[in-house]
Chains A and B, each alone.
Chain A
Amino acid sequence: DAGVIQSPRHEVTEMGQEVTLRCKPISGHNSLFWYRQTMMRGLELLIYFNNNVPIDDSGMPEDRFSAKMPNASFSTLKIQPSEPRDSAVYFCASSLGGRETQYFGPGTRLLVL
């Protein structure tokens, strides 16, 4: 069975550029989560969706970050404009219901120069 799929796996960009990260959750899962991992702050939730609706976006750092889930099988996390401090690993996770075990994708390693 396919797990959570994320693309790209690696992204190197220059400050000021737009970055779009993509996620395909496990088929049948109705909750989707975006996390960010940095050395300084560890793993932290950015936003999560339940049935394609954003439920908690309190972790989104600022207006430069936006996330969408247009349908049950696709979500994007966009950073515009990107800054060097956005460099991190971004994980997408999905679960069968918001209170069930979350399964993580392989992550996207983002480096903003």
Chain B
Amino acid sequence: AQKITQTQPGMFVQEKEAVTLDCTYDTSDPSYGLFWYKQPSSGEMIFLIYQGSYDQQNATEGRYSLNFQKARKSANLVISASQLGDSAMYFCAMREFNQGGKLIFGQGTELSVKP
């Protein structure tokens, strides 16, 4: 079974609008962390935001927020006020604490921001 599922291979959003990228996960470990990374066309992996399984509040980092719904096992990334520079691949990843430091990645969503 897929541990991390990103169901949107590609998405478009108009500049200055908000967009939600979906991520669902599967784990039986009560302690885990969820991450989002951005990979622009240049290829580097840029850390965006982190949510711990015991965190009471949804994580936010500037224009990025994580809509964490634990019962539904979803950790969607919300980007507000999209910019042209947000066009990139976005990866959701999970670390199960009982499995050590290993990150398990989803297949990614390619976001295109239109002017």
Q: Which residue of A lies closest to B97 (CB)?
A: A99
Asked if A56 and B102 make an inter-chain contact with CB atoms under 8 angstroms apart, the answer reads: yes
- Note all chain B residues with C-beta closer than 8 A to A103: 47
Chain A residue contacts of B97, Cβ below 8 A = 99
Given that A43-B91, A101-B35, A101-B50 are known contacts, is A109 also in contact with B43, CB under 8 Å in the complex? yes
Contact with B along A93-107 (1 / 0, CB 8 A): 101001101111111
Complex interface: chain B residues within 8 A of A45 (CB): 102-104
Indicate which residue in A89, A102, A105, A106 contacts B103 across the interface (CB closer than 8 Å). A102
- Tell me how far the C-beta of A69 lies from the nearest C-beta in chain B, rounded to whole angstroms: 14
Docked complex: A5-53 residues within 8 A CB-CB of B = 31, 33, 35, 42-45, 48, 50
A85 to nearest B CB, angstroms? 20
Distance, CA A48 to CA B104, complexed state (A): 13
Residues on the B chain within 8 Å of A113, using CB: none
Residues B44 and A33 in contact, CB atoms below 8 Å apart: no
The number of chain B residues with a CB under 8 A from chain A is: 22
Task: State the Cβ distance, B21 to closest chain A Cβ, in Å.
Answer: 16
Contact between chains at A99 and B33 (CB < 8 Å)? yes
Proximity bits, A64-97, B CB within 8 Å = 1, else 0: 0000000000000000000000000101010100
With both beta carbons as reference points, the residue of chain B lying nearest to A33 in the complex is identified as B101
Q: Are A48 and B102 in contact (CB under 8 A)?
A: yes
Binary interface profile of B, 89-107, with partner A (CB < 8 Å = 1, else 0)? 0010101010011111111
> Which residues of A come within 8 Å of B, CB atoms?
31, 33, 35, 42-45, 48, 50, 55-56, 89, 91, 93, 95, 98-99, 101-107, 109
With A56-B102, A104-B45 known, 19 other A-B pairs at CB within 8 A are: A31-B101, A42-B108, A43-B103, A44-B105, A45-B104, A48-B100, A48-B101, A50-B101, A55-B101, A56-B100, A89-B43, A93-B45, A98-B101, A99-B33, A99-B97, A102-B101, A102-B103, A103-B47, A104-B37
Complex A-B: 22 CB contacts under 8 Å? A31-B101, A33-B101, A42-B105, A42-B107, A45-B102, A48-B100, A48-B101, A48-B102, A55-B101, A56-B100, A56-B101, A98-B101, A99-B101, A101-B50, A102-B35, A102-B101, A102-B103, A103-B47, A104-B37, A104-B46, A107-B43, A109-B43
